[in-house]
Amino acid sequence: MGFFDQLRSRTAEMSGQLKTKAGQFKSKEFANASMAMCALIAAADGSIDPVERQRTEGVITSNEVLSVFPPDELRQKFAFYADRLVRDFEFGKVEAIGTIAKLKSKPDHARAVIQIGIIIGGADGNFDDNEKKAVREACFAVGIPPAEFDL
């Protein structure tokens, strides 16, 4: 099985796992961390172009796990973190990672946010090195070994 087939299979598997647990993640903290992760992945290369922003918003609003939240709230929160990252990448990154780190005491929530990051990163069929690095940094922030996600 090729790398992209494995990535597609793994992403589908993670989506299925998250779908079965969606209800337990309905909290503002989880929504904020998820949107911080999505913005971090979108800006992993240091910028977010309009097409990438629109595509990420599309994945966010169509994701079944995130469907427990009002789409407009998710879009606003994603835009908040994305704008911070665009304005000042390093400061925005610290803020996004800090938001994700708030889930450290909730390992199931933290794992779900990491999985959302992997799903967003692989949505275009290319989970690149910058996106992997962003997910690894999020793993460290919540105390989960990146190897748990083959990173």
In sequence order, which residues have a C-beta less than 8 Å from that of residue 54 and are 6 or more positions away? none
Q: Domain ranges in the chain?
A: 3-149
Contact between 117 and 74 under an 8 Å Cβ cutoff? The reply is no
From first to last of its 151 residues, the chain has per-residue pLDDT tens of 444 455 455 555 555 554 545 556 678 999 999 999 999 999 998 888 888 888 888 888 887 778 888 999 999 999 999 999 999 999 999 999 999 999 999 998 999 899 889 988 887 778 889 999 999 999 999 999 999 988 8
Distance, CA of 101 to CA of 12 (rounded, Å): 25
Q: What pLDDT does 27 receive?
A: 83
Q: Give this prediction's pTM.
A: 0.82
Classify the C-alpha dihedral 72-73-74-76 as positive or negative: positive
